Chain A
Amino acid sequence: MPFDSHIRKIFDKETVDVFHDSKVLLVGAGGIGCELLKDLITMNYGEIHILDLDTIDLSNLNRQFLFRQKDIKASKSLTAVMAVQHFSHISKLVAHHGNIMDAVQFPLSFFQQFDMIFNALDNLEARMYVNKVCLFIKTPLMESGTTGLKGQVQPIYPYSTECFACVPKSTPKTFPLCTIRSTPSKPVHCVTWSKNFLFPQLFGPDTVENLPQKGQDAEQDGEAADKDLMQEANELFELKRKVLDASDGFKDASFVDDIIFKVFAEDISKLLRIEDLWKSRAKPTPLDYGKYRADIGKMTDIENLKLSDQNIWTVQENLEIFTKATLRLTMRLSKEREIEFDKDDDDTLEFVVSASNIRSFVFGIPLKTKFAVKQIAGNIIPAVATTNAIMAGFSALSSIHYFINGKNAEVAARASKMIFDSSVPERFVNSSKLVRSNFNCKQCSITRGIACVDIDHMALGAFRDALLKEYHNEDDVSIATSDSRLLYDFDFDDNLQRPLKDFIGDGDVLLISDSEETLDHIELLIKKGMHCVIPPLDIPPFREQAFEEDGEKEDAETEDNMKSVVGDEVVVLDGDDDKISNTKRSLEDDDNGPMVKKVRMSVNDEEDPIILD
């Protein structure tokens, strides 16, 4: 009896073979990745590549079921492939340890070998990158993400359906610098101050560039405040000197007293003198350090002091921990030169927890537990096995529409749904038909092609001529790199004689604009080749593009684009009598009009933007 008789009964023989003959890429071996790998193997895809740059951590083990305690610190992708050997019967498995955005390790030709790509990523940057690659090579992409009990799956069929960039994503919240430095009112302000300001000042790279520049503040509370801040920063720089001196030849711990006195008393007194700041705010109280100083070190042996992560420490305890952490970090500084904040590095975490709590105390803000501060400072996103299993299951399930329909993207796009968690009792998940791409999308509204060019020898001028010949621009074009560096236009011809390799490498993207603004902009991905092959493209007429600045539309919910629905049918999740809760993630139900989608994608961003989870 064959091991795959279940699948043979569900699908017809041809379809079973299509799965066997297909090659897929799974980007990410974390929470969703482990689950997806299991699902894809048991669906009998012929070849599965799995890629991740991360290593295994203890806090992964509650959901990343392919990893064990003994695997901590090992490569996720390599460990995952080892862990599934015993149940992989047909799939050839290939693990890659690396960053998906590394074009040297993973050039375009790497992506081109796959029939489909599955994203199981934890950060926006990598998601956008894979989305863009998929647009260039027109490969279907199953995008997925989870945050706690929330999650979504979005099948993307390039140019047939919305791409990942079509709906603006919410960006992380930012605070005005002045709030952080002078007028905090919430615990998060104090955590940000101690992690992003005090910590790097004392233990970060030893450069003057770290000093805040005049005029950086988004919100000015008067010139005086600004001037004072400059001075404050300069004085902190002096403290850094003391830390460095102390780390050099460790003698006494009095420099910690100086730091505490300076940042929690003296600086606060200075802030109090800027009366403008306190017209509509409660005044802070400088720390009366003398009250606590005598007892520091007396509580217990300072090295062994162990306080619970779950309880809020008293001011005395926070000062104790602050002293302890500062001394430890200072000693480490002699070997490590500079120390970066890492939520899993206990010295750095305890420093940030205690410093932010002492500052909170000074400003009359509630103190927080170490557990809570770790979440804020480390940008920790809750995660559970179940949501990952559900969303990975839907991602795997969505992929079948492409393979049971003869790999026809249009047909698959009509059959596929976008899935996201439901908050109403009538359904376990929300599913909605895929919609056409957003006309104003920065990513998929642009005409794209792949040019094979001998970049080592071909001069920019010859490349320009080849473009003009292929696209019949009336007059001239301008050429820029994807990071908006202008290489050529009609009054900037300095570079024409230089070879392309001086500006770009294999896999880079060039933006080509028509100087007469007759034809629309195009993007060409440059592949290193022997000759010069410019792809024939059907370029639409020029149109003004709303290139709004990033962050201008912070909230995806303000975007109410009416989109045409794939297929003839307009799908309305009519729930006129369903009790649709008015939460952020519910669908707007409307019996008469087309569906207006209001989805906030969870992006599951961890602190380090390139960690794959």
Chain B
Amino acid sequence: MTDSKPLTEDEIKLYDRQIRLWGVKAQGDVRNSHILVINLTSVGVEVCKNLVLGGIGSLTIVDGSKVIDQDLNVNFFLDETQVGQFKLEACKSRIRDLNPRVELDTETRDWTSIVNLEEFITRFSLVVATGVCESEIVRLNGLTRRLGIPFYCSGTHGLYGYIFADLIAHQSNVKYDSQSSKKVGPIDPVSSITSVKEIKENDTQTQCCTIRNEFRPFDQLSGKFLKQKYPSTKKQIKKICTLLPAILALLKLPSYLNKLTEDVDVSANELQKQTLKVLSQLKLPQEIALKNPETITNLARQAYCEYQPVSSILGGALSQDIINYIVKNELPINNITVLDGYSDEMPVYTL
């Protein structure tokens, strides 16, 4: 599976602008990665585009849905003659065209119908699932944990969206200005600096830190890290946005993935009830749900709607985090980020 041929001159020229960011060796690591994307949602399309452009070794996409009219506006691999076809079949050649060097495999069926899912997943170096609901996330994440494979999931609902990451345990190099005087030791309960190297880069003294991050699987999310970070209830209410528990609550409700937008019916009352339940499970104050009630009503109304700019941001963020993981640079998202397209904010929370 790992082929360690050096990059060719042509590959170096093609990927020149990104090799200047992470180096030839890391680009080789990108080429050795085999990534599985489950469900070709709008954000899934963005992830596929970015990973294929970036030059991963192989991409496997699993999707069993058929193209409906509303997909035309949120999936730029489709054209209007393809309504009624299997989505993946319809998109395949345009995805392949982006970068013929990337091996593209397609599984045109629902991922839940794969007989031996665990065996299927084993061959990938990383798994991304989009548009999945809570029970599905827990199932997939359970498998990836058991197999020691990093896992991401993401979803968008109108102007809102989220990314969850379970990289199990990961070490990456992060550069800081020397003035930040980083020292070896714990940063917070989930991350610590394991080494600090002083280097000189472009005339500036830089600290190159190796940072280790520990992650939790989706069924073990906890509010304790946020409570440690913000000890007072007042601070917790101020710092934690309504969107965080609301979007986790939406994942608990029945899924409307690939359903006609007109038929999606998420009740704001039900969503609020679930949001409060999420908060009590996380042992976080209920006021977090109440401070921005319009977030909950908007989210209920826009549930399962896809909007290209939101998909572009989340797909970009998710793909970058994947590449950062592969090239072992930068701080990873640990472990959930939510995007609010009305306020242009994208906080990261450790649960």
Contacts and interface: CB of A to CB of B under 8 A. Distances in A.
B13 interface: yes
B45 to A, nearest CB: 10
Give me the 7 closest cross-chain CB pairs, A-B, nearest first.
A389-B316, A393-B312, A393-B313, A390-B316, A42-B308, A386-B320, A86-B79
Nearest to B314: A393
Contacts, number: 223
- Chain A contact-residue range equals 35 or more
A396 B347 contact: no
A581 B235 contact: no
Given A44-B73, A385-B50, A581-B180, A68 B97 contact: yes
Interface in A571-609: 577, 579, 581-584
B308 A396 contact: yes
Interface string B327-342: 0001101100101011
Given A6-B73, A65-B98, A431 B343 contact: yes
A387 interface: yes
B21 A382 contact: yes
B305 A9 contact: yes
B310 interface: yes
Contacts of B12: 309-310, 371
Interface stretch (A227-235, A263-271, A328-336, A419-427): A419-427
Contact of A62 (B18, B97, B316, B320): B18
Contacts of A299: none
B138 interface: no
A17 to B, nearest CB: 16
B319 A386 contact: yes
The winner among A87, A388, A426, A582 for most chain B CB atoms within 10 A is A87
B76 A62 contact: no
A426 B341 CA distance: 18
Interface string A1-18: 111111111100000000
A23 to B, nearest CB: 18
Interface of B: 9, 12-18, 20-21, 24, 46, 49-50, 53-55, 68-70, 72-80, 97-99, 158-159, 176-177, 179-180, 187-188, 191, 229-230, 235, 260-262, 264, 301-302, 305-313, 315-317, 319-320, 323, 330-331, 333-334, 337, 339, 341-348, 350
A400 B235 CA distance: 31
B201 to A, nearest CB: 13
Given A59-B13, A62-B54, A427-B337, 5 more contacts: A6-B158, A59-B17, A65-B49, A87-B77, A385-B53
B96 to A, nearest CB: 11
Interface string A378-411: 0011111111111011101110100000000000
Contact of A387 (B98, B188, B310, B316): B316
A6 B312 contact: no
14 contacts: A3-B72, A43-B307, A44-B73, A61-B14, A87-B77, A386-B317, A389-B312, A393-B311, A397-B344, A426-B347, A427-B345, A431-B346, A577-B235, A579-B187
B317 to A, nearest CB: 6
B165 to A, nearest CB: 11
Given A87-B79, A397-B344, A428-B317, A42 B331 contact: no
A565 interface: no
A41 B79 CA distance: 13
A474 B310 CA distance: 56
A324 interface: no
Contacts of A10: 158-159, 302, 305, 307
B21 A149 contact: yes
A58 interface: yes
A66 B323 CA distance: 21
A63 interface: yes
Given A2-B69, A7-B73, A582-B177, A431 B307 contact: no
Contact of B347 (A39, A383, A427, A584): A427
